[in-house]
Amino acid sequence: MVGVKKKMVTLVSSDGVEFVVEKRVAEQSLFIKNALNEGGVEEKVMIPIPKVTSDTLSSVLEYCEKHASATEFQENEIEEWDKEYIEKADLDLLYYLLQASYSMSIMGLMELGAKKVASLIRGKSPQEIRELFNIKNDFTPEQEEEIRREMQWNYE
């Protein structure tokens, strides 16, 4: 036998699309890593990823691929890439990415997404935040008054 045969894993998104990726890429996700360990190191494993659509999964795998080979890059190079990566994601994709990274336990991606959301929130008034995320204000007027009083100096 010549060369090291790369171990491949097949991931199946919630809408049935199959993704064949290297094992080391897939193992960026703790969820997959655990699944692989449990099932023994078999080739051609099919791992269904529930709740993650193919669009999101491809984006997630893009991240995993980059970070699986992180050692080949400079530290700041990865950072730059991360920044660009999350920058181009729109709000909807951001939610999906966060949700996917949570269900697949990819800590790095989750942190990245959380930071992005936080940066969107930063410096905005409660009303602006509500508008941004389309959040319903479910406080009663009395509660709102109470909150307003509490953060009076800070409110506007």
**What is the DSSP pairing of strand 8-12 with strand 18-22?**
antiparallel
CB of 132 to another protein, least distance (A): 9
CB of 14 to another protein, least distance (A): 13
What CA–CA distance (Å, rounded) separates 53 from 49?
A: 9
Please state the closest distance from residue 12 (CB atom) to another protein, in A: 21
What Rg, from alpha-carbon coordinates, does the chain have?
20
| Nearest approach, Cβ of residue 61 and another protein (Å) | 19
User: 8 vs 117, which CB is nearer to another protein?
Assistant: 117
Please give the structure tokens belonging to residue 10: 């097949």
DSSP bridge partners of 12: 18, 48
Of 72, 113, 121, which is closest to residue 89 (Cα–Cα)? 113
Which is closer to another protein, CB of 6 or CB of 115? 115
Cβ closer to another protein: 74 or 154? Answer: 154
- Name which of 91, 93, 97, 102 is nearest 129 in CA terms: 91
Q: How far apart are CA 68 and CA 81, in angstroms?
A: 13
In terms of CB distance, is 80 or 139 closer to another protein?
139
Residues contributing to the site for another protein (CB under 8 A): 92, 95-96, 98-99, 102, 110-111, 113-115, 117-118, 121-126, 129-130, 133-139, 144, 147-155
Residue nearer to another protein on the CB measure, 37 or 137: 137
Residue 83 Cβ vs another protein, minimum distance, rounded to whole Å = 15
